Structure 1
Amino acid sequence: MNAASPSRRTLLARLRARLFHGYFLLSRPMTLGVRGVVHDKESNSVFLIRHTYVPGWHLPGGGVEIGETMLEALAREVREEGNIELGAPPRLLSVHLNRQASRRDHVAIYLIETFRQAGPKLPDREIAESGFFPLNALPQATTPATLRRIAEAFEGVPPSPYW
């Protein structure tokens, strides 16, 4: 593998993400997403995922589909991305404008503390890796936005209106 490979993969991942968001901009003028801060209180850890198509570690989540509530979307996304079933209604923490995706993309962040995981999530076409990580030992490649959301959830940092 040559030294340019990681940069090339990052560039291709960003291009794919822009194309994906461009499609949604045309098909849905405003996009709404949800992400879950899945917190295991016993181990003081959070669940993170690494996608196959964008770099870094992220909170699980995704887009709210037509006819779907934000809570339905959140339950679907954490089930698909982490084999996690909600055990109680999560708490809405904040809503952010994601200007990096588009001027019309909003993301709602929920805190999930009552859940059951039906076994580890195996890698697939979307999820390369996933797992629970102690709050004081998050992966080095955790994205800046994910780190900000975790700080807002657990360190008393005021939520930013922006992603």
Structure 2
Amino acid sequence: MPYLSPREWYATLPTAHVSAGALLTDDRDRVLLVKPNYRPYWHVPGGTMEPGEAPHQVVVREIAEELGLRIGAGRLLVVDVVPPNPDMDRPMLHFTFDGGTVADPSAIRLAEDELDAFGFFTWEEAEARLSPALAPRVPAARRARERRETIYLPVDS
């Protein structure tokens, strides 16, 4: 095999989409979810990585854009992989960070061009509102937060 320059070699590697979100709760330990206007199910707040961004920066930017909240990306709670599907040709690597507690929910300013609603839900209600592919993030994030660990959710889990 001939020698490849670094640029050529990297071009041969598989690629993936990358997204990140924040587990945010209120003072009653309810989970904050958002309802995108372009999907039929609810989501943990967050979004996809832009060029030059790191996952923790995605969280800070997306929460500011979607909800008008200024947060820091706390501990990494969950890393999971959504396999390719008919709408997505590559796997999606997703990072869920601890966004802490929303002290004043009235400070939330919904980005109405992207989101229809937000709400705080019990852990069980939150899990039930997410798509089947994303639902495991909620109980995993809860366990990770409680145990102060990071959980990896492989594709086959």
Does structure 1 residue 37 correspond to structure 2 residue 37? no
Q: Which runs of 5+ in 1 are unaligned?
A: 1-28
User: Which of 49, 58, 64 is the matching residue for 2:43?
Assistant: 58
Cα gap change, 1:140/1:50 in structure 2, threshold over 3 Å: closer, same or farther? same
Q: Give the Cα–Cα distance (whole angstroms) in 1 for the partners of residues 133 and 21 of structure 2.
A: 11
User: Which of 45, 50, 55 is the matching residue for 1:70?
Assistant: 55
Q: CA deviation at 1:97?
A: 1.8
RMSD after superposition = 2.6
Q: Give the Cα–Cα distance (whole angstroms) in 2 for the partners of residues 152 and 79 of structure 1.
A: 24
2:66–2:109: 8 Å Cα contact kept in structure 1?
yes
1:47 maps to which residue? 32
Q: Percent identity?
A: 25
Deviations 1:54-104 (A, max 9, x none): 111110111111112221111011111222211x54111122222133334
1:124 maps to which residue? 112
Deviations 1:104-144 (A, max 9, x none): 42111112115565723335121011122232544853323
Does structure 1 residue 112 correspond to structure 2 residue 108? no
1:32 alignment partner AA: V
Q: Give the Cα–Cα distance (whole angstroms) in 1 for the partners of residues 40 and 102 of structure 2.
A: 27
Equivalenced residues, count: 132
Between structure 1 and structure 2, the one with the greater Rg is 2
2:32–2:44: 8 Å Cα contact kept in structure 1?
yes
Q: Give the Cα–Cα distance (whole angstroms) in 2 for the partners of residues 139 and 96 of structure 1.
A: 15
